[in-house]
Structure 1
Amino acid sequence: MNKQTDLSTYVHAAAHRNYSPLKRILWFYVNTLIFKTGLFPSSRLKVMLLRCFGAKVGKKVVIRPGVNIKHPWLLSIGTHAWIGENVWIDNLVQVSIGNHVCLSQGATLLTGSHNYKDPAFGLITGAVTLEDGVWIGARATVNHSITASSHAVLTAGSVATKNLEAWFIYQGNPASKTRPRFIS
């Protein structure tokens, strides 16, 4: 007979363990009141706050309303990056966003999952890296341990379960390489 999932045995191995509880609580409220709402549309304010909480953020970054960032101290964003409305950066471990990267509305970056074979549903994590010029389309999802290489495109609604090669367009669930990307 198969064992069953037993969530009472789950061990919370969160990435924020090395950060003070006060910092985590403060970020929870800043994220809820400033980032996840439309009350403060200013990218400058958001960039300043991200830096205060340990994120590395380049110049001319645009952060739209409704963005949800789990742990800013595990985030780096290059110059001229765009983060669209309702983007979710669920970064239990490092997320690196390069220069001139566009995360369209509702895109999700996931750095964690669970081991479905483990009765305790153990946490699995892996960094996400979006190299320069990458475009993640609206409502697309990038799973943990994925690198989207230079100028790769993940089309709207697609799900990246494997690394994306440079200068190619990926589509579907799971995403597959459909054609080269050309910029004229």
Structure 2
Amino acid sequence: MPDSSTRPYLGQGNRRPHSVGTVLRRWCWNGVQALLFRPSSSFAHRWRIWLLQRFGADIPSPATVRVFPNVRIVYPWKLRLEAHTLIGPGTLIYNLAPITLCRGAQISRMAHLCAGSHDYRQWALPLDARPIVIGENAWLGAEVFVGPGVTIGELCVIGARSVVVKDQPPRMVCAGNPCRPVKERPEPI
């Protein structure tokens, strides 16, 4: 049996994936998020959108976007929110890669959009960051987890507490762990 002191260990040789500038920018955002974003009134959507835009979020129609105060966003500069989108209370946007909410997309409370993980097949555990796209008029139920590299199709509904690790087709109701299509979603009236 090999000596455990010479055996590789998880994380060995892992280098910081972020530059000093990115780390400083994130610290600034964390301060703004703690002092100005989270304590704001639940009705102060425009104020929070304005703060997100100051930190590089791409929000072309700010007057129609709703983001609740206890939403946690890691990198605003990797976030795109199109018109009529909503991010519900308690949601975590862990956007190590870009996350896009297309027009009309709705994220219910306590969801977790996670655009990054680690490659467990390598000892160094390098970062594996892939973008997430939530399609037009898609709706994610409460406490849904969406993993890296996932695209959710337009008009797709993801049931509460689902774990989405693969792309989900448009116009379907999907649910489960792992999430999969359950039935077609009719065109809304």
1:81-110: per-residue Cα shift (whole Å, max 9, x none)?
Answer: 111000110001111111111100001111
* Residue pair 1:149, 1:166 contacting (<8 A) in 2 also: yes
Counterpart in the other structure of 2:72 = 68
Counterpart in the other structure of 2:154 = 150
1:123 aligns with 2:124: no
1:131-171: per-residue Cα shift (whole Å, max 9, x none)?
Answer: 11010110001100011111111110001111011100110
Structure 1 Cα separation of the partners of residues 164 and 26 of structure 2? 29
1:10 aligns with 2:22: no
In structure 1, the gaps of 5 or more residues are none
Q: Select 1:46's aligned residue among 37, 45, 48.
A: 48
- Structure 1's consecutive aligned runs of 4 or more residues displaced over 4 angstroms after TM superposition are 1-4, 18-22
* Residue pair 1:65, 1:84 contacting (<8 A) in 2 also: no
Structure 1 Cα separation of the partners of residues 16 and 95 of structure 2? 15
Counterpart in the other structure of 1:25 = 27
Structure 1 Cα separation of the partners of residues 78 and 20 of structure 2? 12
Counterpart in the other structure of 1:56 = 58
1:29-87: per-residue Cα shift (whole Å, max 9, x none)?
Answer: 1122333x344431010000111111111231111121000111111001111110001
Structure 2 Cα separation of the partners of residues 34 and 5 of structure 1? 41
TM-score by length of 1: 0.90
Structure 2 Cα separation of the partners of residues 66 and 24 of structure 1? 17
Structure 1 Cα separation of the partners of residues 33 and 123 of structure 2? 33
Structure 2 Cα separation of the partners of residues 164 and 132 of structure 1? 13
1:134-173 aligned within 5 A? 134-173=138-177
Counterpart in the other structure of 1:89 = 93
* Residue pair 1:5, 1:121 contacting (<8 A) in 2 also: no
* Residue pair 1:100, 1:134 contacting (<8 A) in 2 also: yes
2:166 maps to amino acid: K
- What is the RMSD computed on CA atoms of the aligned residues? 1.9
1:121 maps to amino acid: L
Structure 1 Cα separation of the partners of residues 185 and 73 of structure 2? 29
In structure 2, the gaps of 5 or more residues are none
Counterpart in the other structure of 1:77 = 81
TM-score by length of 2: 0.88
Query: How far did 1:8 drift?
Result: 4.5
Q: Secondary structure at the match of 2:181?
A: strand
Distance 1:4 1:176, change over 3 A: farther
* Residue pair 1:64, 1:84 contacting (<8 A) in 2 also: yes
